[in-house]
Structure 1
Amino acid sequence: MAFGSDRQRLTLVLAGVVTVLLLAGGALVVGRTLTADRTAPAATAPGPEMSPSGQPSPSPTTPPPGADITGPLNLLLVGVDTRVSVPGWEPHADAVLVLHVPAGLSQAYLFSLPRDLVVDIPAFKPADYPGGRTKLTNAMSYGSRVPGRSKKPDPAQGYDLLRRTVSDYTGLRIDAGAVLTFGGFDKLVDSLGGVDIHVDQRVVSRHRRPDGKHREPGPGVGGYTGPQMVYEPGDRHLNGWQALDYARQRYLPGGDYTRQRHQQQLIRALVGKILDADLARQPERVEEVAAALGDMLVYVGGRRIVEFAYALGGLSPDALTLVVLPGGAVGQGNAYRGEELTRVGRRFLTELRAGRVDAYLAKHPDLTVPPAPAR
């Protein structure tokens, strides 16, 4: 596994981060637009018709790439704060999301796993990790270690251990996925002209000042000083740093579970943004988005992104259900050890694997994130 080529990154954006990148998802719909382009009548000019990705479009008798993918699919996406300026820092999975698409590919379910979820992380030879029971976020950092004192952490390698851990916990086979750094997310949102978000509660930032600058470190572990950016309830237009900052805050009523909801609301906003912009029909805009991502994106998968895009081309934004799984803190005495899902949250995974998720969500409507109020 390695960082994708420029062609892969361009296709990833065109197809729409079918993995619904944390905070970068959204273009399941763009994949649908691509599908329409691929089946359009051939031009009268000689030679094969070219798709927006620069590849020849299939002839009417040739099945398009990805036509054989029928599902189910499970795609894992990870948001990482690399903090490359901190010596010895290892990437942690600050956001872990799974997109489940049942057989038939007509619906999709996006759910988050708490970063502090206590899980069994398997042994991982490439990083000389012996295995252990600890927080999910650590799978990314432990797996990214490259033996040798001077070697930098490898995010793709860290993703591999995280993928195995998530697969073991959920019982789902992970087909593909992606890692996006927070810096990459800033650039992605700005390249789209910002996003419109319905802020559902007052959010006071721990990390940013109102002018966007980072707050100065303060006393105590994780402390900061100085004025704070505040996101008041209501409809807001957010630029890149604001959207990321809003979705990162977890010191709120509801803690990390509130943050998961805000991350998913942001994904939904990006879906609408890409739809409104008709991004797939503007090659120059796609180039801007691809250039903005650069090496801040790692794609990992056995099939090309364009194939997943075609397979998911029939999905619409209304077919994407956002799910927040309930959980609570676990520990010994007053010592916080991490989080665990409640019985209702764990049962969701069972029903998802069994193909009974719609009936289960109907019995537990509080698990789903409602659409934003109409403007």
Structure 2
Amino acid sequence: MRNSKITWAVIAGVVIAVLTGLGVAIAVNRDSGSTAASPSSPVTENTAVPSASPSAAPAPSPGADLTGPLDLLLAGVDTRNSEPDWEPHSDAIMLLHVEAGLKSAYLYSLPRDLRVQMPAFKKAGFPGGKHKITEAMAYGSRVPGKSTKNIQNGYELLTRTISNYTGIKTIQAGAILNFGGLDNLVDELGGIDLTIDQKVKSRHRQPNGKLRPLSGHDFSGPQAVYLPGKRHLLGWQALDYARQRYGLPNGDYDRQRHQRQMVKAILDKALGQDLSDATKLQSLVTALGKSLVTFGGRQPVEYAYALRDLTAASITSVQLDGSGVGSGGGYLGEQLNSEARGFLTAVAGGKIAAYLKAHPKMVNKG
């Protein structure tokens, strides 16, 4: 059975992929009134004044030319290859749209089973067709005539598919993360605090954190339960809470909302720590191990500098709802409703604020 931890590892990706150089951004903010960077600051190399000309203006920091708007992709992908005929799937897909000026953003999810038209992709010998969006990574990563997989090509087909579906012309950068690292990251942060909005019973974990025994095709034994209210979650609890969809009124749509809650909680906790300390920043990166892969024409530190004024409070979480589609009684996937599709049109057209003002129920509170 596929390890569904992969679905939730993307939560760590939003912190590290976009903000791997967060210590740089924080240090820049804190030193903005000083005339020189501290020798121990990780921004020294980018902010030093050329010694040959003391009166010359300092070289601009990498990323200073990024003014937005930006569209960033955050995808949880199973990149393990220990199973026969293994292929990667993007089991969690989140998009972060950062408005011009880079001080506010919108975070939303696309259902993993969203049925979309995929373009032909010659690199993988893929002819195109209508499939679940989670399969784009799998089809794109195939290497004709070989059993190996090319994750970068899979990411390319995924971004092309998303662009075609949403109308977003360019996805500037993205991150994929496999199932390792999330619980380690949360523990390294000292746990996270969030407001749980509905009772969630774990299908996978016991109250003590141990895995529930698998009995046939299901699990058995006592279950961990997450009750509504303000809660402090450890790493395994954060991972477990964000995995659950069975037993929830809206299934995967509720799960997507919980993912976005987790993203903001991790960002909030990370921003509250002294990440200008290079040692602390490195410990967070180390906690993820080799589970993170980033893509894009820029280095993560450039986006970190560009997004230095973005906080968890300035990110609006948006709910896109939909329903299942089928043929002959069989399930084919999901389709977004007209309101959700209208939001995607607003993103592509740069009219998000006006659209959400007219559709306020799409905004997740808290």
Pairwise CA distance, 1:282:
2.2
1:88-99 matched pairs, under 5 angstroms:
88-99=85-96
Report deviation, 1:106: 2.4
CA contact (8 A) 1:38 1:57 kept: no
Tell me which amino acid in the other structure corresponds to 2:317. L
Alignment of 1:91-240 (within 5 A): 91-151=88-148, 153-172=149-168, 173-220=170-217, 223-240=218-235
Q: CA RMSD in A?
A: 2.4
- 1:54: how far off? 6.7
Q: Work out the CA distance in 1 between the residues paired with 2:338 and 2:195.
A: 30
The one-letter amino acid of 2:178's match is T
Aligned to 1:322: 317
Contact 2:46 2:62 in 1 (8 A): no
Shift of 1:166: 0.8
CA deviation vs aligned residue, 1:348-369 (integer Å, no higher than 9, x gap): 0111222221121112111111
What percent of counterpart residues are identical?
51
More displaced 10-residue stretch of structure 1: 255-264 or 73-82: 73-82
Pairing 1:223-372 to 2, within 5 Å after superposition = 223-251=218-246, 252-278=248-274, 280-371=275-366
Tell me, in whole angstroms, the C-alpha distance in 2 between the residues paired with 1:93 and 1:140: 6
Q: Which residue of 2 aligns with 1:55?
A: 45
Relative to structure 1, is the Cα distance of residues 202 and 30 closer, same or farther in structure 2, using a 3 angstrom cutoff?
farther
- Find the aligned partners of 2:198 and 2:188 in 1 and give their Cα distance: 27
> In structure 2, what is the Cα distance between the partners aligned to 1:209 and 1:86?
27
After superposition, the C-alpha distances for 1:308-364 in whole angstroms (9 at most, x for unaligned) are: 111112223322111111111111242111111100000001112222211211121
C-alpha change, 1:31 and 1:55, in structure 2 (3 Å) is closer
Checking the alignment, whether the CA contact within 8 Å between 1:23 and 1:264 is kept in structure 2 is no
User: How many angstroms apart in 2 are the aligned matches of 1:353 and 1:208?
Assistant: 40
Query: Runs of 5+ in structure 1 lacking a partner?
Result: 1-19
Partners in 1 of 2:37 and 2:161 — Cα distance? 52
TM-score normalised by the chain length of structure 2:
0.86
Would the aligned equivalents of 1:94 and 1:137 in 2 still touch at CA under 8 Å? yes
Change (3 A) 1:127 1:209: farther
Normalising by structure 1, we get a TM-score of 0.84
Match of 1:10 in 2: none
Is contact 2:12-2:182 (8 Å) kept?
Answer: yes
Give me the whole-angstrom Cα distance separating, in 2, the residues matched to 1:273 and 1:156.
30
Q: Partners in 2 of 1:298 and 1:266 — Cα distance?
A: 20
Partner of 1:163, secondary structure, is helix
Q: CA 1:288–1:236 in 2, change beyond 3 Å: closer, same or farther? A: same
> How many Å apart are 1:159 and its aligned residue?
1.5
Q: Shift of residue 56 of structure 1?
A: 4.1
TM-superposition CA deviations, 1:20-66 (whole Å, max 9, x none): 95344347676641432564535599xxx564267342434322211
Letter in 2 for 1:275: L
The answer to whether the Cα contact below 8 Å between 1:22 and 1:97 also exists between their aligned partners in 2 is no
**Matched length:** 345
- Choose 203-212 or 94-103, whichever is displaced more: 203-212
- For structure 2, the 5+ residue unaligned runs are 1-8, 50-56
Does the CA contact (< 8 Å) of 1:34 and 1:313 recur in 2? no
Which segment drifts farther, 179-188 or 205-214?
A: 205-214
161 and 38 in structure 1: CA distance in 2 versus 1, 3 angstrom threshold: farther
Q: 1:148 to 1:51 in 2, by over 3 A?
A: farther
**1:174 CA drift (Å):** 0.5
Distance 1:44 1:208, change over 3 A: closer
CA displacement at 1:138 relative to structure 2? 0.6
Aligned 8 A contact 1:50 1:56 in 2: no
Contact 1:50–1:57 (8 Å) recurs in 2: no
Q: SS state of the match for residue 355, structure 2?
A: helix
Matched letter for residue 137 of structure 2: M
Answer whether contact 1:24 1:270 (CA < 8 A) is retained.
no
CA 1:23–1:341 in structure 2 vs 1: closer, same or farther (change >3 Å)? farther
For residue 26 of structure 2, what is the aligned residue in structure 1? 33
SS at match of 2:272: helix
The yes-or-no answer on 1:77 pairing with 2:67 is no
